[in-house]
Amino acid sequence: MDAIPIVLDCGGSIIKAGFGGDSEPGIVFPSTGPKLKKDIESGFDDKRYISKFGPTFRSPIENRVITNFDNMKRIWQELFTEQLQIQPEQHPFLVADSALNSLENRQQTLQIFMEEYNVPSFCPAFASSLALYNAGYTSGIVVDSGESNTDIIPVFECFTLTHLVSRLDVGGKHVSEYLKKLLNQQGIVLPGPTEREILREVKEQIGFVRGDPSPSDDEEKIFLTHDGIQLCIGRPRYQCTEVMFDPNLLGLQCQGVPKAIIDVLKVSDQDIVDVLADNVLLSGGNTCIQRFTDRVEKGILIHNSTQLKVNVNSPPNRRFASWVGGSILSCVDTFKDLSVTREEYQETGLSILELKSY
């Protein structure tokens, strides 16, 4: 019986891991490390996040690309020994990868998995294609919005058109940054140690994207922090999300999401552009903000000067879309063809990745 593949999706904000064939990742924790377990004797507040790796540990990932391999290996080791409780040499691996990652970075990851973890096979699969698998498609425009950036990625018949990918340097952390600025303008200053967590929770729990103006939009909502601080927040709940549609609000020199989608479609090959436009697929945690889909659709109508009919799809599980797509891919025959086996690595070395189609 074949060993169950391990699927990893390591983002700049969240680590997702689990077994191939599962409907959702079994392990999810911040990319700064798993939460420190509650110390009963010290009376530690279990609701407050403190990394197991200490307060100075920084995420080793940015834009789905590993920037610190030493820290990344600490996370992988934690995943294998403590979280998944597996022996990596006994499992094939699928790792979600950025279409804009360099070959050198991808090769270094392969080398670590082959030479330090001794895995039987390794498959770096583009997160964009995995998001499509999750939704049951093979073609479309994937709008992958994460912590640091938003990528507009055209995929045709499972082939990522990397030369047409548009990267917007705006994402979840910028929404948080703008929310902080708006709250500060109202005299609300959050406690430093928990500031990032509070901003994230405000976004997820009471934040939304404004469409057609409504009097109810300005209603204040009460948000209670884990530290017992009560916040009354009105307009900043939706004002903070405007940065995704007008990045200039934070001085960012890039387009908003709807305009970027239309621009990618305009430069796409005329033979496939209708297929791409028919499936604009939202993916990533930042697209889960309330009413995000509606605003993208509205923005596309405003910027679409072509005759293209553009359909926006937002799967309910899009927060974990790439991981779930990887789980699906790991269970089909194609997975073995895409994977680098130990034998192939020993015969060809790191250049084997140049011979595979991802």
Q: Is 331 a member of any domain?
A: yes
Give the pLDDT score at 39. Answer: 42
Give the pLDDT score at 44. Answer: 37
- The number of domains in the chain is 3
Q: Is 250 a member of any domain?
A: no
Whether residues 193 and 305 share a domain: the answer is no
Give the pLDDT score at 74. Answer: 97
CATH number for the domain that contains residue 148: 3.30.420.40
Whether residues 22 and 114 share a domain: the answer is yes
Give bridge partners of residue 94 from the DSSP assignment. 7, 123
Encoded tokens for 265? 């479609």
Q: Is 216 a member of any domain?
A: yes
Whether residues 110 and 186 share a domain: the answer is no
Q: Is 249 a member of any domain?
A: no
Q: Is 304 a member of any domain?
A: yes
C-alpha distances in angstroms, 67 versus 8, 62, 295, 325, 356? 17, 7, 33, 24, 24
**H or E element in which residue 356 lies:** none
pLDDT, averaged per 10 consecutive residues of the chain (358 residues), comes to 91 95 96 70 48 89 92 97 97 96 97 98 97 97 95 96 97 97 94 86 95 82 86 96 98 97 98 98 96 97 92 96 98 95 97 85
Whether residues 113 and 24 share a domain: the answer is yes
Give the pLDDT score at 56. Answer: 87
Give the pLDDT score at 136. Answer: 96
Whether residues 79 and 201 share a domain: the answer is no
Whether residues 145 and 288 share a domain: the answer is yes
Whether residues 98 and 159 share a domain: the answer is no
- Cβ(222)–Cβ(232) below 8 Å: yes
Give the pLDDT score at 194. Answer: 81
Whether residues 23 and 67 share a domain: the answer is yes
Whether residues 221 and 192 share a domain: the answer is yes
Rounded to two decimals, the pTM is 0.91
**Domain boundaries, position 117:** 6-128+320-355
For 171, the 3-state DSSP assignment is coil
Query: Is 45 exposed, middle or buried (CB count within 10 Å of its CB: 0-12, 13-18, 19+)?
Result: exposed
Choosing from 221, 244, 267, the residue where a domain stops is 244
Whether residues 19 and 101 share a domain: the answer is yes
